[in-house]
Chains A and B, each alone.
Chain A
Amino acid sequence: MAANAIERQFAVEQLLARYAQALDGDALESWPDFFVEQGRYRILTAENYSQGLPLPLVQADSRAMLRDRVAALRHANIYEAQHYRHVVSCTVVEKVDAQTVTAVSNFMVARIMHDGATTLFATGRYLDRIRLSNDAAEAKFEERLVILDSSRIDTLLAIPL
């Protein structure tokens, strides 16, 4: 039986919430599992996006690429210890077909450095395409497009948004 609107909304919000909790809780290894196998993840600035300029800050076209980024963050890249606090809200879900929805949500991400210095690091929108199981019990990203409101990034963007 196809999921109804309430079930779809619930499934999407659960996915968004678990995703944010995983990133904020340093469970980076679970990050790729929020996507389908050929899931796509990109971060673009709103300025580029609105002008039709395709340049990504981050782009992964599969779970394998997401795992590569996690491996690089864990073993290759050098950055000061830090974590994020995501606040995600205003989620608007639209049905595409029986198993696919699009979702638009807002986010604010604070970055907390190891010494406690806390800044509003990024704000923006998630433009998601999400695949739901028949009963909406399981939801995964087919595409997650992160649109940053600002084109300015302080120092570096290591942990995913």
Chain B
Amino acid sequence: MNTTASPSAAAPPRAWPAEGLTRVPYWVYQDEAIYAREQEKIFRGASWSFLCLDAELPGPNTYRTSDIGDMPVVVTRDAEGVLHAFENRCAHRGALLALKRSGEAKEIACIYHNWTYDLKGNLQGVAFRRGVAGKGGMPADAKPECNAPRKLRLELYHGVVFGTLSDQTPPMEEYLGPEVAAKFKRVMNRPVKPLGGYTQILNSNWKLYLENVKDSYHASLLHLFFAKFRINRLTHKGGVLVGGDGGSHVSFSHEGTSSGNEYEKAGLRSAAGGFTLEAPQLVASVDEWGDGGTIQILGMFPGFVLQQIKNCLAVRRVVPRGVNQTELLWTVFGYADDDEAMLQRRLLQANLIGPAGFISMEDGAATGFVQRGVAGAHDYNSFVEMGGAGVASDESRVTETSVRGFWQAWRRRMEM
């Protein structure tokens, strides 16, 4: 695809600390020049952005709006059922083409001057192109098509639609790496049915959320609800797999594989006291995959999460909205062949996730605490040495290996 020079294509505005991946400088969350470079090198570069679920475009002649970083895009399914995606920007004055989150349409017309596009993103009509009654209009040799919205390269990967502007982005299977790809396919093993969604506004840089997702070390320390009920303790069997160029990971665990009291011995807050659920059916789950896996969190660079928490399945889309604000768009789904009992189980377990989730509400706050905490410390660093200095799969989740993997992928693309 065409890449054009822009001011941020110049030399990197900052230098990474000499220690390497065990240090993350706090300017990465606060520097406007870094943010601009990320949009170009990462989001509009050789990365796959999660656009939507295939099932969210239910039939021919439907569309959905989405994003690649700052850049708004439209995803469509044409009359033949083929998926397309293109920049949500009119060739004329740059106005948004599709305004709603989703809809049905045979063509898309810009509301500003009624220029029209087919569902492949081709400019089809320019209103009054030849003028009216022989007067006005565009010169005969004008080629507004040259300024048309950029088209995305798509990959429909096991029910999930990913898009990229670069022809250098490797196929999804390779991008994820074989181990992480296997975990992806474990959840996306048959047609899914969206159950709804919502958007959580995070008052922090987008990378703090991705780091949070990739930080298996925090899960049962910050999220007390799980630890109390032994749904997820780091002493449970599980692990972290890192794939691709470090940017993809999965952390997983199995319930009831530990009777240890390591948390109590360590005097951790999350083990203190004890209360039990009066209505434990809220966390009663069934083993859908026959492998005992209760939690599987898969994160893919730069902004995609596939989540299985018991029977609660969701995809999350991370959209940067400036240096210190991020939108986290949740879409919860079940399988098309779910029976009523399974549907009700998934809905009840949705209490665990989202902005009001028993186990995920803290994430919205925690990333904001870092953003606020580092405000006066641009030139200081995070200390990321749990599990050593490497980027590799680990049987222990007391590690920050996938956080370092995230930064490895980030630095490679940012050339920093």
Contacts and interface: CB of A to CB of B under 8 A. Distances in A.
Interface of A: 43-45, 47-48, 51, 53-62, 64-65, 67-69, 71-72, 75-80, 151-158
Given A48-B196, A155-B368, A72 B279 contact: no
A158 B362 CA distance: 9
B198 A78 contact: no
A154 B225 CA distance: 21
Contacts of B368: 155
A153 B275 CA distance: 29
Given A55-B195, A55-B332, A56-B351, A156 B364 contact: yes
Q: Closest 9 CB pairs between A and B?
A: A55-B196, A53-B196, A48-B196, A64-B278, A153-B355, A157-B356, A156-B361, A76-B224, A64-B279
Nearest to B327: A152
Interface in B190-213: 194-203
Interface of B: 101, 194-203, 222, 224-225, 228, 273, 275, 277-279, 282, 327, 332, 343, 347-348, 350-351, 354-356, 358, 361-362, 364-366, 368
25 contacts: A44-B196, A48-B196, A48-B198, A51-B196, A53-B195, A54-B196, A55-B197, A55-B332, A57-B350, A57-B354, A57-B355, A59-B347, A61-B279, A64-B279, A65-B279, A68-B279, A71-B275, A77-B358, A78-B362, A79-B365, A80-B365, A153-B198, A155-B203, A155-B364, A155-B368
B348 A59 contact: yes
Interface of B, secondary structure class, is mixed
A67 B196 contact: no
A67 B278 CA distance: 8
B199 A76 contact: no
Contact of B351 (A59, A80, A155): A59
B356 A156 contact: yes
B224 A45 contact: no
B275 A155 contact: no
B197 A68 contact: no
Given A59-B350, A65-B282, 13 more contacts: A55-B198, A55-B350, A57-B198, A68-B277, A68-B279, A68-B282, A71-B275, A75-B275, A76-B358, A78-B224, A80-B365, A156-B361, A156-B364
Contact of B200 (A54, A68, A76, A153): A153
A96 B326 CA distance: 45
Given A65-B279, A72-B225, A58 B351 contact: yes
A157 B356 CA distance: 5
